Structure 1
Amino acid sequence: MPRRTATLLASTLMLIALLCTAVLIPAPYSEMSPGPTVNTLGDHEGAPVLQISGHKTYQPTGHLNMTTVRVTGPDYSMNVFYALVGWLDHDSAVVPHKTLYPEGQTAEQADQENAEEFTQSQESAKVAALQQLHIPVAAQTVVASVMKDKPADGRLHAGDVITAVDGTKVKETGDVAKFVTRHKPGEKTVFTIIPAKVAAAAEKKGHKPGAGQRQVTITTTKAQDGRAVVGIQAGVDHIFPFPIDVKLADVGGPSAGLMFALGIVDKLTPGSMTGGKFVAGTGTIDDKGKVGPIGGISMKTVGARNKGAQFFLTPKENCAAAVKDTPKGLTLVKVGTIGDAVKALEKIRKDDTAGLPSCSPAGRS
């Protein structure tokens, strides 16, 4: 066999061996890519995304699209070859697996966590939207969770409304721990509650729970730091003046909060906040309307632009990352609160785009 042929054959066999190795060797990475984007002002799968009853609503024009990221599952095993392809692909991102899924987290746990975050984001979006419109929202302290094998296990339940502890009215969530820790471990504390089912029935009718109160006496136990505890986590439940529902399946996580809130504001306000323009965005939101950062910002801007978005509402903490690879034709608008977003939409509606707060590499406007 001629030397040149032998060398070529050896090189070919080595290349094949390297490719086989790349396919077979697992890599500790996951892939992110642009996911679906849905207009919160419109319908999805035949039903309005935002369903509001008991209050006058309007049908605005334009788009206020929430954006998503599609990610490989926690059990997905990427090989070296696909990792290399992903790194070269502009419309996807390869990231360390542990960035998306903490070590030991199962697929079921990941789904549960995403579902809980999505539900909480809807709750906060509704609160922030109504507060932006100066519509009062009542709040009450509830049992958020009960620790197994602790004194409250079987005595209190998630969703129970806590109205008082030891006869002292509970005015805010922090009061519960404050009142319980006044005791020494082993002493009894008395909770005045409205059972979760009674409270839920009243809320469904649009009434603030009041009837059905009962007292539950629980003996405290000693925490690791020596404090008296009963083994519950207190939380806040809001009572809305009229029903607001978000109907969007197969979506998880908290990052759609801002866009849900803006969609609610737009549907409860005459006219159109966007002026008919295509605006997309992302960002978590809390009860006070503060917008927080999210993951996968570059994938979301790509997905939004692919759908036709002209403007993208960007959490200020994500600006530096988003501006590094902004899709052509998409204007990034920096926001820190729902109020910032409403003001920006007003400028977009009036075509005053020169005055928009924009993202920069350093996150400055």
Structure 2
Amino acid sequence: MNRRIATLVAALVPVVVLGVTGSVVTVPFAALGPGPTYNTLGDVDGVPVVQIDGTDVDPTAGHLNMTTVAVRDQLNLFEAIGFWASGRQGLVPREEVYPPDKSKEEVQEGNQADFEESESSAELAALHHLDLPVSLAVASVAEDGPAAGVLNVGDTLVSVGGSPVATASAVREVVSARAPGDSLDIEYVRDGTTQTSAVVLGARPDDASKGYLGVTPEEQPGVPFEVKFNLADVGGPSAGLMFSLAVVDKLSPGELSNGEFVAGTGTIDADGTVGPIGGIPYKLIAAREAGATTFLVPDANCGEALQNVPDGLRLVRVESLDSAVEALQAIGSGADAPSCS
């Protein structure tokens, strides 16, 4: 082998090694980027994303789009560099998406559970906003708790200590304001019959100075119609706000979007509180590319959203379902809406 060939071989070996390594060896990162958006007022494969059966539904049009983040895993070096260089994706340590103590399947199952819980909270928040009936049922009774033998799973709570209760937090507030040993009258409905029983409170496990009832209350729709959410292969709780807005829009006259292409994100509690989410930069990109001109941003995400807002997208700050509805109504009437600026 002459010197020229030897030099060429010596130069090519690192290139070949790099090429093989870069295309075969995976890196400990995951790529996050814009995911699909879904119009909660529309259909997917001919099925309404939000379906309400058993009552009249107001015709809806326009867009109230929920947004998602796409996650790409098992990247090789070249793929990771390509995603990073694109400007549309970001790289995060894989353990931030898939914790080392959980399998990928366990993470996906957890995300699905969060998604289903967000559907329930979205419906309840919408019913509260519309002043429609919501009942408070006993979901569980501690085996050795103060209410054992008095309350049963499925009982509907009406009042605790003389105070009407419609939410789980209301029960906690009344009970926590009393001391262990106090007797509370519990009014409830069982098998269609209203009953009242006294329960002597125990001590709360995490604070012995406060009363403890030993039941888990759970809010349930008290309406004669059914709300279904027909979106598969989506996980996490961040669709809650947009699902709730869709229910409100379908059960009330007029259009919340008022001709605007509105997208947004945010978790929602049954009481209508909107919470922060992750991946806001990618959701903003996804929304704008889908055609959105207005984006509903949880208050706690406003700072990050301002640093990543695409041109042509108005950021509207929301703290609750009520504030989101009010903001959309303001936009529709030409008034100012709370912004992230």
Shift of 1:142: 2.7
CA distance in 2, matches of 1:308, 1:144: 46
Asked if the contact 2:118/2:238 (under 8 Å) is kept, the reply is yes
Shift of 1:282: 0.5
SS of match in other structure, 1:68 = strand
User: TM-score, with normalisation over the residues of structure 1?
Assistant: 0.73
Cα distance change on mapping 1:27 and 1:233 into 2, 3 Å: farther
Query: What does residue 66 of structure 1 align with?
Result: 66
CA distance in 2, matches of 1:266, 1:225: 42
Query: What does residue 356 of structure 1 align with?
Result: 337
Query: What does residue 30 of structure 2 align with?
Result: 30
Residues 113-165 of structure 1, C-alpha deviation per residue, up to 9 Å, x if partnerless? 222211221222122222222x233332433698xxx879xx99x9644769x
1:48 matched to 2:48: yes
Query: What does residue 238 of structure 2 align with?
Result: 255
1:115 matched to 2:112: yes
User: TM-score, with normalisation over the residues of structure 2?
Assistant: 0.77
Shift of 1:279: 0.6
CA distance in 2, matches of 1:43, 1:11: 57
SS of match in other structure, 2:306 = helix
Asked if the contact 1:127/1:137 (under 8 Å) is kept, the reply is no
* The one of 242, 262, 268 aligned to 1:279: 262
Cα distance change on mapping 1:175 and 1:314 into 2, 3 Å: closer
Residues 67-105 of structure 1, C-alpha deviation per residue, up to 9 Å, x if partnerless? 112224xxx433333222222122222211222222221
1:242 is matched by which residue type in structure 2?
A: P
CA distance in 1, matches of 2:301, 2:96: 16
Mapping for residues 220-239 of structure 1, pairs under 5 Å: 234-239=216-221
* The one of 97, 100, 107 aligned to 2:97: 100
CA distance in 1, matches of 2:224, 2:156: 23
Query: What does residue 172 of structure 2 align with?
Result: 174
Shift of 1:301: 1.3
CA distance in 1, matches of 2:263, 2:219: 29
CA distance in 1, matches of 2:153, 2:77: 47
Of residues 318-327 and 57-66 in structure 1, the stretch that sits farther from structure 2 once superposed is 318-327
Query: What does residue 316 of structure 2 align with?
Result: 333
Of residues 264-273 and 106-115 in structure 1, the stretch that sits farther from structure 2 once superposed is 106-115
1:138 is matched by which residue type in structure 2?
A: V
Asked if the contact 1:30/1:94 (under 8 Å) is kept, the reply is yes
Query: What does residue 284 of structure 2 align with?
Result: 301
SS of match in other structure, 2:57 = coil
Cα distance change on mapping 1:7 and 1:338 into 2, 3 Å: farther
1:15 is matched by which residue type in structure 2?
A: V
Residues 184-230 of structure 1, C-alpha deviation per residue, up to 9 Å, x if partnerless? xxxxxxx9999xxxx9xxxxxxxxx53699x9xxxx9xx89999xxx
Asked if the contact 2:124/2:134 (under 8 Å) is kept, the reply is no
Query: What does residue 78 of structure 2 align with?
Result: 81
Query: What does residue 90 of structure 1 align with?
Result: 87
Cα distance change on mapping 1:161 and 1:349 into 2, 3 Å: same
Cα distance change on mapping 1:142 and 1:110 into 2, 3 Å: farther
1:127 matched to 2:110: no
Cα distance change on mapping 1:169 and 1:264 into 2, 3 Å: closer
Equivalent residues, number: 326
Percent identical: 39
Shift of 1:173: 4.9
CA distance in 2, matches of 1:285, 1:210: 31
Cα distance change on mapping 1:312 and 1:6 into 2, 3 Å: farther
Cα distance change on mapping 1:224 and 1:292 into 2, 3 Å: closer
* The one of 308, 313, 318 aligned to 2:296: 313
1:140 is matched by which residue type in structure 2?
A: L
Query: What does residue 188 of structure 1 align with?
Result: none
Query: What does residue 17 of structure 1 align with?
Result: 17
Residues 21-77 of structure 1, C-alpha deviation per residue, up to 9 Å, x if partnerless? 3334432222222222111112222122222234432112210011112224xxx43
SS of match in other structure, 2:271 = coil
Shift of 1:254: 0.8
Asked if the contact 1:125/1:287 (under 8 Å) is kept, the reply is yes
1:142 matched to 2:125: no
CA distance in 2, matches of 1:273, 1:210: 38
1:236 is matched by which residue type in structure 2?
A: E
Cα distance change on mapping 1:144 and 1:103 into 2, 3 Å: farther
CA distance in 2, matches of 1:295, 1:145: 35
CA distance in 2, matches of 1:49, 1:33: 23
